[in-house]
Amino acid sequence: MASLPEIEFLRGVPLFQEVEESVLRALWPSFRERRLRKGDVLFRTGDPGEELFLLKEGSIVVSKPVTGRIEQVLARIEPGEVFGEMSVFGDERHRSATCQAEMDAVLYSLDRDSLSRFITGSPLTAAKFFQHMAQAAFKRLRDSSDLVAEVTRWGLEATGLDVEHK
C-alpha cells in the first residue's frame, strides 16, 4: 500500500496531478523502484522498450549517438519528469535515445500492461493523463526544434560560413 509521502510525490508529477487518490493508491503497487549509480545506463538507443519511467531523485542525461564514442546530448531529465513513454505508446517499440544516470538516481518504472489496466479501469482519469502526456510531448518537440536551430547556428559560427550572401 502506498504511504502518504509516495502519494504526495505522485501528486507533484504533472502527469498524475488530476488522478484521484484512490486510483493512485491502486496504481502504486505497479511501480517498480530502480536505483542507478552515476554512469549506469538505463537503456540504449535501439533497445526494446516496455516501460515508462518517473524520476524521483538525481538526473538522467538523454543522448543520441553521433559518431564513434561521441553522442549529442538531447536533454536532461530532472526529478518529477516522466520519460521513456515513446516506446510504450508510440508505434516504434524500440528506444529512440540512450538514457544514463548523470548522478545517482532513484526512479520508478511502470510497464505497458499496468498502464493498460490503468487506462481501461478509469477512462476519464486516463483522458486527463493523456492530456498532460500530450503537453509533455509538445514541450519535447519544441525543445527538439530549438536544439536543431542551436546546432545549425553552432555549425555556421564554427565554420564562418556566410550563407546570407551565397
Partner 1 sequence: MESRPKRARLELLVRQADGDGFEVREIPSAVAYLQSRPQRIPDMDWEMARLPYARQGVVTYALKNRRTEQIIQITEAEKFLWEQMDGQASLQEIATAYLLRYGSFDFEIIPTLIVKLLRADLLTMRPVSRLRAVLARNRRNAAARALEGTLHALERLTVTSRRAHEFFERLYRYGGFLLFSPWTVLALIVMVGLGAWGGVQIWEELGEVTHGLARHPLIAILLVKIVFWLTVVNHQVIHALACVHYRRRVREFGFTILHGFIPTFYADVTDIFMGSRRARIVNAVAGPLFHLFLGSFCFWIATMLSPGLIQGFLVASAILQLQSFFISLYPFCFLEMDGYHILVEWLGIPTLNHDAVRFVRESLWSRLRNVVSLTRRERIYVTYFALSLVSVTAFVLGTVWLLVTAGQS
Q: Is 155 exposed, middle or buried (0-12, 13-18, 19+ CB in 10 A)?
A: exposed
For partner 1, which residue of 4, 69, 91, 92 counts as binding (CB under 8 A)?
69
* 35, three cell numbers: 536505483
The reply on whether position 61 binds partner 1 by CB under 8 A is yes
Confirm if 80 and 69 have CB atoms less than 8 A apart: no
Cβ 141 to partner 1 shortest distance, Å: 19
Q: What is the DSSP letter of 30?
A: G
Binding status of residue 158 toward partner 1 by CB under 8 A: yes
Q: CB 159 → partner 1: shortest distance, Å?
A: 6
Q: Does 153 bind partner 1 (CB under 8 A)?
A: yes
Instruction: Report residue 65 as a C-alpha cell.
Output: 549517438
Q: Give me the residues that bind partner 1 (CB under 8 A), please.
A: 39-41, 61, 63, 66-73, 100, 102, 150-151, 153-162, 165-166
